[in-house]
Amino acid sequence: MSDSFSGQVRRAVLAVLLTAGCLVVGVDALAQKTQAENSGLSPEEQIVISVYKHASPGVVHITSTALAYDVFSNPVPQKGTGTGFVVDDRGYILTNNHVVEEADSLEVTLPDKSKVSAKLIGRDPSNDLAVIKISVPKEKLFPLKLGSSDTVQVGQMAIAIGNPFGLDRTVTRGVISSMGRTLRSESGRQIRGVIQTDAPINPGNSGGPLLNSRGEVVGINSAIYTPSGGSVGIGFAIPIDTAKRLLPQLIAKGRVSHPWLGVAGLDITPELVNALKLPVRQGIVVMQVSPKGPVDRAGIRGSTRKARVGNMLVNVGGDIIVAVDSRKMISIDDLTAFLDGERKVGDQVKIEILRDGRPLALSVRLGELPEK
């Protein structure tokens, strides 16, 4: 058989295979389209239904009980509810710190309505994350697939599953409204990279999963902005990449080690520059240093006096932090974000300061943020 003839045969066979493949794909697509048309559901509805069917078995209802006391010193149990979701077949459940904080006991309601006690494993108030654990047979656990918040795009579908006002495993749908928001945690530190969504979130949704159209968890629903107390279409979720990064620490030692300098500072503003005649227009005025903390041991100085700036009385006269490891620092939040994201406890950092207008560089070994 000649080369030209064998080439013609190969091309003919390839054409037949391609045609057959196109026919198979075409038939499959037609079958799916016909099924959707026959059910009367739109493609978007089909997606939400599919995600809910696959993900809702992994979503649990968390009830926390804390003991308060009445005027006669009698114990009065006070209950709160929230949401969590299973992350592996060992029984670990991810939720928000504020769902379990200060709870004397925890109870989890599974999709089959069975109730089991839960143990608090670890929590991180700085990122509003917590891990609890239940002991049940593996066949009762349905771990959810953790996606990546780094690939989330504004405008894509967002699906929330939770227990708003105690209504078990409610699903709501919306879109990703924005990325890269910041939230102030109860510890006072900023949570960065937060996802904003208009998927309705209400009290009780906290700790539940925010999912993409593939049913992957991309965030942990944590907070809403509301003037009324109910959902107005502005909800916030902790990025799942943050949770995945911190989960091993929470499980292994019950807390997260955050780098700490032991400094309280004031962001430099134009008003501050003009009022105090500061030598720089950006940086952090050191107001207080923690006694025997990292910066105190390095010799960084806090404020020496008070001054009035506008209608505020502020601590001034301390060193001015302008850079850390050659990274310019504009605000105390920039400093916290840099240390949390790029440095760890025990690292040595170079802090560039201005003292009485003169530049000075000091070496500081990062400590660990104390527990409150």
Q: Which residues have a catalytic role annotated?
A: 98, 128, 206
H or E element, residue 187: none
Residues forming beta bridges with residue 172, ordered by sequence position: 160
The whole-angstrom separation of Cα 335 and Cα 189 is: 11
Name the amino acid, one letter, at 216.
E
Q: Is the dihedral of CA 217, 218, 223, 224 positive or negative?
A: negative
Is residue 102 left, alpha or beta, with left meaning phi > 0 and alpha meaning psi from -120 to 50?
left
Contact criterion met (CB below 8 Å) for 85 and 58: yes
Residue 364 and residue 261 in contact, taking contact as beta carbons nearer than 8 Å:
yes
Alpha-carbon distances of 150 from 194, 238, 246, rounded to whole Å: 11, 12, 16
**CA 328, CA 322: separation in Å to the nearest integer?**
6
Residue 215 CA, chain-centre distance (Å), reads: 18
Calculate the alpha carbon distances from 148 to 31, 298, 331 in Å.
32, 39, 28
Beta carbons within 10 angstroms of residue 155's beta carbon: 9
Instruction: Give the separation between CA 193 and CA 64, rounded to whole angstroms.
Output: 28
**Residues 6 or more apart whose Cβ sits within 8 Å of residue 129:** 94, 95, 96, 97, 123, 220, 238, 242, 243, 246, 250
